[in-house]
Amino acid sequence: MKKIYLIFLFSFALCAEDFISEFEYGQMLYQSPRGVSCVPCHGETGEGRDIVSYTEDNGTVVMIKGPDIRSSTLTQINDSVKKGNSIMPRYFFTDKEIKTIHAYLEKVNLEETE
């Protein structure tokens, strides 16, 4: 019985990384990192969105806009996430999680341009 259990455990360990791809993990972190999504401010692919706006007689006035982060470097995203600013909250991601989010944004935007 012990041998069967060890074989199962070893097989599971070998396949454990295949349950979710890096792209899927980056997508999950971007869309719902610990309950707070990047999407409402930065859009589905990082294109940026209007956060606060109102309508006047002559059109819509945008007060606060989430920036377009599609061409942001890893260093820029890392700094923004770790430091935050007056509008964006500070997030407590690991360096690997930030790299994964950056890789996800790069891939999803590359696929859109093809």
71-83 pLDDT, tens digit per residue, is 999 999 999 999 8
Which residue pairs, CB below 8 angstroms and at least 24 apart, start in 72-80?
72/46, 72/102, 72/105, 74/98, 74/99, 74/102, 77/101, 77/102, 77/105
How far apart, in whole angstroms, are the C-alpha atoms of residue 114 and residue 91?
A: 32
Q: What is this structure's pTM?
A: 0.74
Q: Residue with structure tokens 């792209």?
A: 23
Domain 19-113 matching CATH 1.10.760.10: the answer reads: yes
What number of CA atoms fall less than 13 Å from residue 46's CA on the CB side? 20
Per-residue pLDDT for 18 more than 80?
no
Q: 92 versus 70: which is more confidently predicted?
A: 70
How far apart, in whole angstroms, are the C-alpha atoms of residue 77 and residue 82?
A: 8
